[in-house]
Amino acid sequence: MAILPLSALLPNAASRIVFCLFFAVASCIAAHGKFHGRATWYYAGIGACGDWNDDGDHIVALSPIEFAGGTKCGKMIRVHYQGRSVTARIVDLCPSCGWTGIDLSTSAFRALAPLDEGVLHAVWEYL
């Protein structure tokens, strides 16, 4: 089995730089285990994981990148904001969320801040 150099797989310098930066960021996040992103809220219903959810459930929707085709369904995260934290179960996909953005049920969001705040800059982690 031959091992090809990165330059053979990604012929131009720009693509090699982007490739390396992506893995540097991913490694940093994996090493620290915490994500910094926008946290918004939504009304619950049938989630992308296939179950019905209520607004009173502490649930969360992940970005398409983090949702990873449903491989994170049922896993738990903890969200931190200004000294408060809440644990939520992954049940849905948030198509409009950026990579580290999350969408919380109204009850999970309220555990961190009033709904009228709308958008929080929170820290979250997988449990």
Phi, psi of 64 (to 5 degrees): -55, -35
Residue recorded with tokens 């607004």: 55
The answer to whether residues 62 and 72 touch, using CB atoms and an 8 Å cutoff, is: yes
Please state which CATH class domain 34-126 belongs to. Answer: mainly beta
Query: Which among 57, 40, 52, 53 is positioned nearest to 98, based on CA atoms?
Result: 40
Specify the pLDDT at position 15. 62
Helix extents (H) in the chain: 6-9, 13-32, 64-67, 106-110
Specify the pLDDT at position 70. 97
Residue range 18-26: mean pLDDT, rounded: 52
Q: Where are the domains of the chain?
A: 34-126
Rounded CA-CA distance 88/78 in Å is: 6
pTM of the model: 0.76
